[in-house]
Structure 1
Amino acid sequence: MELRALRYFVTVAEELHFGRAAERLHIAQPAVSQQVARLERELGVRLLDRSPRTVRLTEAGARVLDAARETLASAEKVSAAARTGPDTVRIGTAPGMAARLERGIDALREHEPGFEVVLVDLPVPARLDALRRGELDLAVARAVRHVPGVRVRQAWSEPLRVVVSAKHPMADRERVELPEMAGFSLRFPARECDPPLHDAVTAAFRAAGVTPKLGRPTGAPQDTIVEVGSAPGSWTLLPAGLVSVSPRVRSIPLHPPLEVPGSVLTREDGTSDGCVDAVVAAFRGD
């Protein structure tokens, strides 16, 4: 079994679309399909249910996805170990946090000038697993409140934004209430892409007494924004930091406002409190 096949499968599972997975991997789509089919033959189970319009994980696929992420993260650990020394701090990153990461890195280097910082980009589930296994020293994440074996230090709050096409009926609104969006098709990343954020948004709907009209699940947030921009009858709900500037979409504040927490994560027996305190303060903008 090749790491390449596992990587292709994980990417398809995160995107739930072979074409987008191929674009993300920078290879031709048939190569992705062939590798995933070969992996299914090797394992003797169907990992994905495919139809002309949708791709969904099977129960076996969901189990294999967790194991595949662990395997790939372990492989990354070997690679990272070859290029880092004992004075290296490995940080699991998240999209849309460049300014906070820059402040956090500056704070680390001020606290310990000899540190070298390595940024590791992993999906949220793999990021948390890598942190628990000691393959990361710190991680940042949105909407994480409790993880066994992990110390969660809330560092900031981030407002949720309604994102619609520039041609959407609500596009010119200065603010919008969740119940007003109930009749439009909600496009949102599948839960396996980011369980904490998915659960936080689901809880926000439940608290507001709103049952959204669910459209097809999407993959990464940036792909979600592209799809929403191309479909005037749809919308999504994302943290403000994930919303990229585009003339094709509008980002609208909610009324009343809703926020998700952003946190700095460490193992309970990991990085020293002094370092963590410095990073948390930097992420808050103190």
Structure 2
Amino acid sequence: MELRALRYFVTVADELHFGRAAERLHIAQPAVSRQIARLERELGVRLFDRSPRRVRLTAAGHRVLDVAREALAAADRVRVVARAQAGVMRIGTGTGQFTARLERGIDALRERSPAFDVVLVDLPLPARLNALRQGEIDLALARGVRSAPGLRVLPTWTESLFAVVSARHPAAGRAVVGVAELAAGPLRTSRDHDLPAEVLRVTVPQVRAGTVADTIVEVGSDPRSWTVLPADQVAEIRSARVRAIPLEPHTTVTGSVVVPDDLPSPCVAAHRAAFGD
């Protein structure tokens, strides 16, 4: 019996909806259905009553659910103990993001506990949160996340947002600029873009690029396109082909440390303090 199947079962039991469970697990719905069917065959019982209108736990499903939660909690405790012995902290981040904050945070954590190694795991935001749920990383940094099922989202810092345009863009010499003024050109975003759409407060055509560095190069080559970046990333721009302009009205995004919801309180406080301003 695989822990993955138990995790899928518990998620479906929480949601009582295969589609929502698949979204929460960040996998396709058929994969969830296959795992549940396989688990039912292995256990020799039906776990869910399914109908077009609703999904319900069977009596056997209710009995299995409590034990499955216990098994997953035990597995998580094993991972915590193993990682503590290994002295490794795996931090989820995005390519080219949080560099200065990571350096400061790791230094602060090492002041409290010097003997650990750090492994940075670059993942897009949805995969980053899912890796944290699955125990594949120990904490994640993220922007614009208000909540995440199964995780604790700890608002930790606030960053101003800037429009980034080509040096040849008509607004390049402005002291401030509004998003609505830029909306005539395409908004370029990277696969690592953490900013939720509502932060921009306007609907505009979007062009998806590769990394943040790719996005900056593409904006610099196109006098019409633009992107929006937080202050941390703007500080790391080295290109003379683009200009960063504060948004008007002043717009910010909240950055968070995201941790497993069962992380002990002293660790939660230490992580939040380490990565704050």
Q: Give how far 1:147 is off.
A: 0.7
Q: Deviations over 1:164-212 (max 9, x none)?
A: 00011110111111221122222223xxx35752xx2x21343xxx443
SS of 1:263's equivalent?
A: strand
Partner of 1:284: 276
Higher-RCO chain (CA-CA 8 Å, sequence separation at least 6): 1
Choose from 251, 254, 259 the match for 1:266.
259
Deviation at 1:218, TM superposition (A): 2.2
| CA displacement at 1:121 relative to structure 2 | 2.0
Give the number of equivalent residue pairs.
197
* Counterpart for residue 43 of structure 1: none
The code of the aligned residue for 2:258 comes to L
Q: Deviations over 1:135-167 (max 9, x none)?
A: 111111111111101101111011111010001
Residues 195/225 of structure 1: CA separation in 2 closer, same or farther (3 Å cut)? closer
Which residue pairs with 2:57 in the alignment? none
Is the alpha carbon distance of 1:84 and 1:229 closer, same or farther for their aligned partners in structure 2, counting shifts above 3 Å? farther
What residue number does 2:149 align with? 148
**Distance verdict in 2 for CA 1:249–1:196, change over 3 Å:** closer
Give the drift of 1:239.
1.8
Which residue is equivalent to 2:198? Answer: 203
- RMSD (Å) for aligned C-alpha atoms: 2.5
Structure 1's 146 and 196: CA in aligned 2 closer, same or farther, altered over 3 A? farther
1:187-198 correspondence runs (5 A): 187-189=188-190, 193-194=191-192, 196-197=194-195
Match of 1:122 in 2: 123
SS in 2 for 1:175: coil
Q: Which amino acid in 2 is paired with 1:242?
A: Q
Conserved? CA contact 1:187–1:228, under 8 Å: yes
Q: Determine which structure has more spread, i.e. the larger CA radius of gyration.
A: 2
Q: What is the SS of the residue equivalent to 1:236? A: strand
| Alpha-carbon distance in structure 2 between the residues aligned to 1:240 and 1:141 | 14
Q: Deviations over 1:90-137 (max 9, x none)?
A: 111233322211221122222223333222222222211111011111
| Offset from partner CA, 1:22-50 (integer Å, 9 cap, x none) | xxxxxxxxxxxxxxxxxxxxxxxxxxxxx
Task: Compare 272-281 and 229-238 and name the one that shifted more.
Answer: 272-281
User: Quick check: 2:146–2:153 contact (8 Å CA) kept in 1?
Assistant: yes
**TM-score normalised according to structure 1 size:** 0.62
Letter in 1 for 2:174: R
- Deviations along 1:229-286, one digit per CA (max 9) or x if unpaired, are 000011112222233221010010011111111111111113x32233223223223x
Aligned equivalents of 1:83, 1:275: Cα separation in 2: 14
| Residue 238 (structure 1) aligned to one of 229, 232, 242 | 229
Structure 1 equivalent of residue 248 of structure 2: 255
The runs of 5 or more residues in structure 1 that have no matched partner are 1-61, 68-81
- Aligned partner letter, 2:224: G
Q: 1:162 to 1:266 in 2, by over 3 A?
A: same
CA distance, structure 2, for counterparts of residue 224 and residue 89 of structure 1: 30
Say if 1:229 and 1:113 are closer, same or farther in 2 by CA, change over 3 A: same
Distance (Å, rounded) in 1 between the aligned partners of 2:158 and 2:123:
22
Contact kept, 8 Å, 1:108 with 1:275, in 2: the verdict is no
TM-score (norm 2): 0.64
Q: Write the distance in 1 (CA, Å) between the matches of 2:218 and 2:188.
A: 8
2: CA distance between counterparts of 1:109 and 1:187?
A: 37
Are residues 186 and 120 of structure 1, via their aligned partners in 2, closer, same or farther at CA, if it must alter by over 3 Å? Answer: closer
Over 3 Å counting, the alpha-carbon distance change for 1:280 and 1:135 in structure 2 is same
- C-alpha distance in 1, partners of 2:97/2:147? 22
Q: Structure 1's 127 and 211: CA in aligned 2 closer, same or farther, altered over 3 A? A: closer
Partner of 1:40: none
Query: Which runs of no fewer than 5 residues in structure 2 stay unpaired?
Result: 1-25, 32-81
Q: Which of structure 1's runs of 4+ aligned residues deviate more than 4 A?
A: 82-85
| Residue equivalent to 2:100 | 99
Match of 1:228 among 205, 208, 219: 219
Contact kept? 2:199, 2:253, Cα under 8 Å: no
Partner-residue secondary structure (3-state), 2:105? helix
